[in-house]
């Protein structure tokens, strides 16, 4: 496990750290079947690959099969293979993916889409550790670890009679659940940095980053497509804004949720990853102006000046919003001299587009 992830799975949030520890444990018992559950784009295939790579099976094949992408009538021969003459067109025998995965791992993605007849055949592989190819009579022994994944609620499908109960229990010996991205927004800055580097590697003008206002907005997005959606956004922004830094107004409309968030700080330099983490920790502190719970204090302490500066910025922006940009009135609300307020606005470079649009007294 590195500071930022595990086998290429990026994440530092508590839920992801728990997941990495679980994957580590799974390596100790490399026969048990694993069922990975998570919304689309949460990284189920990455997790399956990490389980394989961390296990004693790592030097053998990791064989992925997407049960939803292969037509029903082909899936059986893809998985189990066939003998010569098994059906019209079977001019010779063909090894199936189960046999190809012998001593390694078979990753059955979208297992919820598997038809009942095949579910029964798969159950046999799990119970007997052998199978018959299509058209074959002789069972072939196989030593394969099955890792299944689904975005469906398989338990519910069992209740509705759409998935075999016995197979469900066989598969879910070790259930692994990947949380959706909206429940681990702490990981967003780290993931963005990772994608900026990987997408920008071969680009003349890689993206320089996202400013703190854009980053704040992204932490409020529901991310229905999870990490895949975030990766696509970084790709999209690299094409449009390569060589510069993405601001709130550069984001596609669906990511500009609500009014422009109040900037955490007016700094202009690119947001480094380490800063990003402390900024989010600091934002948490900023939201509580009177008392700060003990557990919210970052281990390495806080940047007092930056926090006070951020809070001052928030107050000024709020006053300006309340007064529709009337600086005289905002100064009155803040009990500041008008000239003091003007100086602060200038120093903080707060004249963002939304402020400029407002009427100056
Ligand atoms: N934690 C992560 N760190 C780095 N990249 C990630 C992470 N999670 C997902 N990705 C990337 O997001 C994309 C989608 O991941 P993956 O295919 O593993 O998701 P999935 O849950 O299997 O999706 P689906 O259910 O749609 O098949 C991939 O490009 C993957 O590399």
Going from the Cα of 9 to the center of ligand 1, the distance in angstroms, rounded, reads: 9
Q: How confident is the model at residue 258 (pLDDT cuts 50, 70, 90)?
A: low
Complex ipTM > 0.95: yes
Residue 133 lies in a domain: yes
Ligand 1 neighbour 145 (Cβ under 6 A):
no
Question: Distances from the Cα of 335 to the Cαs of 121, 340, 346, in angstroms?
Answer: 77, 10, 18
Work out how many domains the chain is built from and give that number. Answer: 2
Q: What is the mean pLDDT of residues 198-221?
A: 91
The CB of 41 under 6 Å from ligand 1? The reply is: yes
The answer on 197 and 170 residing in a single domain is: no
In a domain, 298, yes or no: yes
261 or 27, higher pLDDT: 27
Whether residues 14 and 153 fall in one domain: yes
Residue 325 covered by a domain: yes
| Whole-number percent of the chain with pLDDT over 70 | 83
Task: Answer whether 358 contacts ligand 1 (Cβ < 6 A).
Answer: no
pLDDT at 257 exceeding the cut of 80: no
The string of pLDDT tens digits covering residues 311-325 is: 788 788 878 877 878
Decide: 76 in ligand 1 pocket, CB within 6 A: no
**Cβ-based neighbour number of residue 329 at 10 Å:** 16
For residue 31, what are the domain limits? 5-179
What are the pLDDT digits (tens) for 160-197?
999 999 999 999 988 999 999 999 999 999 999 999 99
CATH number, domain with residue 27: 3.40.50.300
Residue 296 pLDDT > 90: no
- Which DSSP string corresponds to 307-319? HHHHHHHHHHHHH
Q: How far apart are CA 143 and CA 103, in angstroms?
A: 5
Which residues are within 8 A (CB) of 150 and not within 5 positions of it... i.e. 6 or more apart? 35, 36, 37, 110, 111, 112
Same domain flag for 72 and 96: yes
Please indicate, yes or no, whether residues 84 and 135 belong to a single structural domain of this protein: yes
Mutate to test the pocket of ligand 1, among 35, 48, 228 (most ligand atoms within 8 A of CB): 228
To the question of pTM greater than 0.80 for the whole model, the response is: no
DSSP, res 110: T
**Closest ligand 1 atom to Cα of 11:** 1
Are residues 188 and 153 part of one domain? no
Share of the chain above pLDDT 90, in %: 57
- Whether 43 is in the pocket of ligand 1, judged by its Cβ within 6 Å, is yes
Do 309 and 340 fall into the same domain? yes
Q: Following DSSP, what letter does each residue of 34-81 receive, concatenated?
A: EEEE--TTS-HHHHHHHHHHTSTTTTS-EEEEETTTS-HHHHHHHHH-
* Cα distance between residue 43 and residue 240, in whole Å: 26
**Same domain? 173 vs 199:** no
Average pLDDT over residues 109-126: 94
Domain boundary among 179, 206, 231: 179
Candidates 6, 16, 35, 41: which one to mutate for ligand 1, based on the most atoms within 8 Å of Cβ?
A: 41
């Amino acid at each position: 496990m590195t500071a930022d992830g595990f086998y290429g799975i990026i994440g530092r949030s508590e839920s992801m750290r728990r997941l990495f520890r679980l994957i580590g444990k799974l390596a100790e018992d490399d026969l048990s079947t694993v069922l990975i559950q998570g919304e689309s784009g949460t990284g189920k295939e990455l997790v399956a690959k990490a389980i394989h790579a961390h296990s004693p099976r790592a030097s053998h094949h990791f064989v992925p099969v997407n049960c939803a992408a292969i037509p029903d009538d082909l899936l059986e021969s893809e998985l189990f293979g066939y003998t010569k003459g098994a059906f019209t067109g079977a001019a010779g025998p063909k090894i199936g993916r189960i046999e190809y995965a012998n001593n390694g791992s078979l990753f059955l993605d979208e297992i919820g889409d598997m038809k009942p007849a095949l579910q029964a055949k798969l159950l046999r592989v799990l119970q007997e550790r052998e199978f018959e190819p299509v058209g074959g009579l002789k069972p072939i022994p196989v030593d394969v670890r099955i890792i299944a994944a689904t975005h469906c609620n398989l338990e519910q499908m069992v209740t509705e009679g759409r998935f075999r109960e016995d197979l469900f229990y066989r598969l879910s010996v070790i259930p692994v659940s990947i949380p959706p991205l909206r429940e681990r927004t702490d990981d967003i800055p780290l993931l963005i940095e990772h994608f900026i580097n990987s997408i920008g590697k071969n680009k003349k003008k890689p993206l320089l980053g996202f400013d703190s206002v854009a980053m704040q907005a992204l932490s409020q997005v529901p991310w229905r497509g999870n990490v895949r959606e975030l990766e696509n956004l970084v790709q999209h922004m690299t094409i449009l804004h390569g060589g510069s830094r993405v601001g709130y107004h550069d984001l596609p409309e669906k990511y500009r949720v609500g009014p422009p968030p109040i900037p955490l700080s007016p700094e202009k330099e690119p947001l480094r990853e380490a800063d990003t983490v402390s900024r989010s920790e600091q934002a948490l502190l900023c939201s509580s102006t009177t008392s700060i719970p003990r557990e919210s204090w970052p281990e390495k302490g806080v940047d007092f000046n930056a926090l006070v500066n951020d809070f001052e910025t928030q107050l000024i922006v709020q006053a300006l919003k309340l007064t529709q940009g009337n600086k005289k009135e905002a100064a009155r609300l803040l009990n500041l001299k008008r000239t003091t307020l003007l100086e602060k606005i200038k120093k903080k470079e707060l004249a963002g587009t939304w402020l400029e649009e407002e009427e100056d007294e």
